[in-house]
Amino acid sequence: MAALCGEEETLAKDSTTLLLRIPDLEVETVTTKRILLPICTQDLPMPALEAGVVVAQKFDAHLEGMHIRTPQAESKRFAKSHLDPRHYTELVDRLQKQEQQDARATRRAFEEFLASRNLMLSGDPTDSCIATASWQELTGDPGDVIAVHGGAFDFIVLSHPSLEPASVPSSVLEAAIFRAARPVLLAHKDVSAALGQSIVIAWNRGVQSRRAVAAAMPFLENAESAVIVNITTGAKQGPEPEEIADTLAWHGVKADVKRLRPDRRSVGETLVEEVREVGADLLVMGAYSQNRLRERLIGGVTKEILANADFSVFMAR
């Protein structure tokens, strides 16, 4: 990042927002300070937890583990059975006690992991000068809970769906991107402290791409290298990739531009292969829907990335 002097440096550090000026669009991006980690099962989503801790320590941010319990699902299942009412009540009580025990065990595992990484437990915003973490428990449908509460966070971290499909329901990913409208970091396995060291930006000139770049600015400003990949399909109108490279340069980010012509590969396949070729550990891209009338349907390119990426992905809608 370009050096600042005197009072300008102090003001920049104290600022809670950065204004990324992309031609034809101004996007306000909030600095990374509060990260949501949804936990939807008894088992911790380890790739997401690893990435959440790495990012919290990188940006002196706060990681909030949100354990979402859905006990009503089991209760309904037993309610539809032909059990004697007394037995039904006993079973429900037993289930509730087991759920409480499971929740305590999950929280202990969460806190033990944080302790192993020297991350302090605190829910006090006055500790915002250091990396911290906290825990809360909510009950309800995971997608609905994220849709209601996810918008209060700078971004949401989830394990890549190809790794742990059982631990993070697809409804959570859709709710995070489309209903809570927050950027999402999909963490792949073996996340290291160097997460975001080398970044590929998928640039298609669309609004979603611009928002993704704006949201990813904290990562880009800390990256050692960045490549803007533009597949010249001509499907969308917007700034050329060289213009985005110029804008990033004003933020102290040196980004190379790579233009590709369409070939027999799909856009998703091309992006995955380019990330691998560059050796990047993070892809920044817009999240696209398949149908404007039903935005929760994830579009083709996004689906391909989610199915085939063996690296972490940062996406925004």
Give the CATH superfamily of 34-73+103-181: HUPs (3.40.50.620)
Residue 68 corresponds to which tokens in the numbers above? 């979402």
Domain limits, the chain: 34-73+103-181, 196-316
Give the Cα separation of 107 and 113 in Å (integer): 10
* 20-289-275-155 Cα dihedral, nearest 10 degrees: 50
Q: Do domains 34-73+103-181 and 196-316 have the same CATH topology?
A: yes
In the block, which residue shows the tokens 């428990």? 137
Give the CATH superfamily of 196-316: HUPs (3.40.50.620)
- Render each residue's pLDDT in the chain as its tens digit; 317 residues: 443 434 444 434 443 444 444 444 444 444 889 999 999 988 999 999 999 999 999 999 999 999 998 865 555 555 555 666 667 677 778 878 888 898 999 999 999 999 999 999 999 988 778 999 999 999 999 999 999 999 999 999 999 887 766 566 788 988 999 899 999 999 998 888 889 999 999 998 888 999 999 999 999 999 999 999 998 776 667 899 999 999 999 999 999 999 988 777 888 888 999 999 999 999 999 987 655 434 444 557 777 888 888 899 999 98
